[in-house]
Amino acid sequence: MTAKQREIKTIVAYAVIIVVGIVMLFPLFWMILACFKTNNEIFGSLKLFPSSWSFDAFVKGWQTTGTYTYARYFANTFELVVPTVIFTLISCSLVAYGFARFDFRGKNVLFMVLIATLMLPNSVIIIPRYSLFNKLGWLDTYLTYWVPALFACYPFFVFMMVQFLRGIPRDLDESAYMDGCGSLRCFGQILLPLLKPALFSASLFQFLWTWNDFFNTNIYINSNSKFPMSLALRMSIDVTSAIQWNQIMAMGLVSILPLVILFFAGQRYFVEGIATTGMKN
C-alpha cells in the first residue's frame, strides 16, 4: 500500500465517522434548539434556529399546568435514585466479597444461580412482585426500589465487582487477615479502596438506569406527588388540550442534562465498566 493510498483511506474513515457522528447527535442538537422555539416553529419547518431565543418554554414547562412543579419531580427523582445507588453499592460489594474471597460449600452453584438471574427477564416477575409489594404495603413508595437494592438484587453489579475483586491479589487481604484483621475490616480497609473504580462504574450505571427507568416506576408509583421525572414527562403528553411540545422538550432536556454531565465527569468509569463486564469471564 502506497502512502497516498493510506492517506485516502484515513480520509475516508474520518469522513464516515464524522458523517455518522453528525447524524447521531443531530436529534439531540435539534432538541436543544427546539426548546427555545415557539410551539408552532417546531413543526413544518426546516429552520434550525429559533427566530427569537426565548426561555419561555423552560419557565412555563418547569411550572407545569398541574399541581406540582418540576422542582418537586426533580427532588422525587433524587430521593428515588440516590438511596437506590448507595444501597446497591453497599450490598453488591459485600456479596461480591463473599463470592470472590471465601470458599464455602455450594459457592459454585450459588454463583451459577447469580449468573442465571442476570438473564431473568423483569417482565416475568413484575406481576408477582407487584402483588407482593401490594401485600407489604410498599406500593406507591420508593421502598419498591430501595429494598431490592439493599438485598443486592442487581446481579449485574455483583458480577462486575466479583470480576474486579478477582483481579486484586488475594495475598493483600489474606495476609492482613492472618495478622488478625477481621474479615469485615479487611474488606473495608484494604479491598474497598482498591475497588473504587468498580464502585464508580457501578454507581454511574445504577444512577443512569434508575433515573431512566420507566417500566417499573410506571407500575409501582401512582400518586402525582411522588412522580419522578420519567412519569411526569409521560403524563405531560397525556393531556387532552393542545400539547405545548416546546415546553415538554425543554423539560425532557432538563431531565437528561444531569446524565450527560455525569457522563462527561465519569467517562472513564463508564468505558471501563462496560469493558470489564463485556469481556468473557
Partner 1 sequence: MANNKTGIAVQGRKHWAKRNRTGLYYVSIWLIGMAVFQLYPFITSLYYSFTDYGIFNAPEWVGGDNYVRLFTLDTEFFNSMRATLEYTFITVPGKVIFALIIALILNKKLKGVNWIRTIYYIPSLLSGSVAVSILWKVLFMDDGFINSLLSVLHIPTVAWLGSPHTALLTICLLEIWQFGSSMVMFLAALKQVPTSLYEAALIDGAKKTTIFFKITFPMISSVTFFNLIMQLIQALQNFTSAFVITNGGPSKATYVLGLKLYTDAFRYFRMGYACATSWIMFAMMLVLTLILFATSKKWVYYDN
User: With contact defined as beta carbons under 8 Å apart, do 203 and 85 qualify?
Assistant: yes
Long-range Cβ contacts of 31-35 (<8 Å, 24+ apart): 31/249, 31/252, 31/253, 32/253, 34/245, 34/246, 34/249, 35/246, 35/249, 35/250, 35/253
Q: Which is nearer to partner 1, 86 or 259 (CB)?
A: 259
User: With contact defined as beta carbons under 8 Å apart, do 217 and 226 qualify?
Assistant: no
Closest separation in Å from C-beta 63 to partner 1 = 18
Closest separation in Å from C-beta 17 to partner 1 = 6
Q: Does 274 bind partner 1 (CB under 8 A)?
A: yes
Return the residue of 101, 161, 176, 191 that touches partner 1, per CB under 8 A. Answer: 101
Positions of E strands within the chain = none
User: With contact defined as beta carbons under 8 Å apart, do 187 and 97 qualify?
Assistant: yes
Closest separation in Å from C-beta 173 to partner 1 = 11
C-beta neighbour count of 192 within 10 angstroms: 13
Angstrom distance (rounded) from CA 216 to CA 228: 11
Closest separation in Å from C-beta 263 to partner 1 = 5
Q: Does 219 bind partner 1 (CB under 8 A)?
A: yes
Q: Does 193 bind partner 1 (CB under 8 A)?
A: no
Angstrom distance (rounded) from CA 52 to CA 194: 52
Q: Does 181 bind partner 1 (CB under 8 A)?
A: no
Angstrom distance (rounded) from CA 19 to CA 101: 48
Q: Does 13 bind partner 1 (CB under 8 A)?
A: yes
Return the residue of 60, 79, 110, 181 that touches partner 1, per CB under 8 A. Answer: 110
Q: Does 150 bind partner 1 (CB under 8 A)?
A: yes
Considering only residues 244 through 263, tell me which ones interact with partner 1, judged by CB under 8 A.
Answer: 245, 248-249, 251-253, 255-256, 259-260, 263
Q: Does 62 bind partner 1 (CB under 8 A)?
A: no
Q: Which is nearer to partner 1, 56 or 165 (CB)?
A: 165
Site string for partner 1, 16-35 (x = CB under 8 A): xx--xx--xx-xx-xx--x-
Return the C-alpha torsion angle 137, 139, 142, 145, nearest 10: 100
Q: Does 165 bind partner 1 (CB under 8 A)?
A: no
Return the residue of 62, 209, 224, 266 that touches partner 1, per CB under 8 A. Answer: 209
Q: Which is nearer to partner 1, 52 or 267 (CB)?
A: 267
